[in-house]
Amino acid sequence: MEQWKTSIIIGVTLIILAAIFALLRKEFNIWIILIMILGLLDIIVGYYRKKN
């Protein structure tokens, strides 16, 4: 699989898992927010690699 596709899939997976974990715990703490930001950055890097 290409590098940019892997990056986007990992980013989406991180965001989904963080959202599920936040719903189960019924709270947002700093770690969940950091995981969501990391997933978003991974998606951005994936799109940037696809463009170049």
Model confidence, pTM: 0.85
- Residue bearing tokens 């936040």: 22
* 52 vs 50: CA distance, rounded Å: 6
Query: Which residues are CB-contacts of 18 (< 8 A; sequence separation ≥ 6)?
Result: 32, 35, 36, 39
pLDDT digits (tens, 9 = 90+) for 12-49: 999 999 999 999 998 889 999 999 999 999 999 999 99
Which of 46, 49, 50 is closest to 12 using CA atoms?
46
* 25 vs 2: CA distance, rounded Å: 35
pLDDT at 52 (0 to 100): 81
The domains of the chain are located at: 3-51
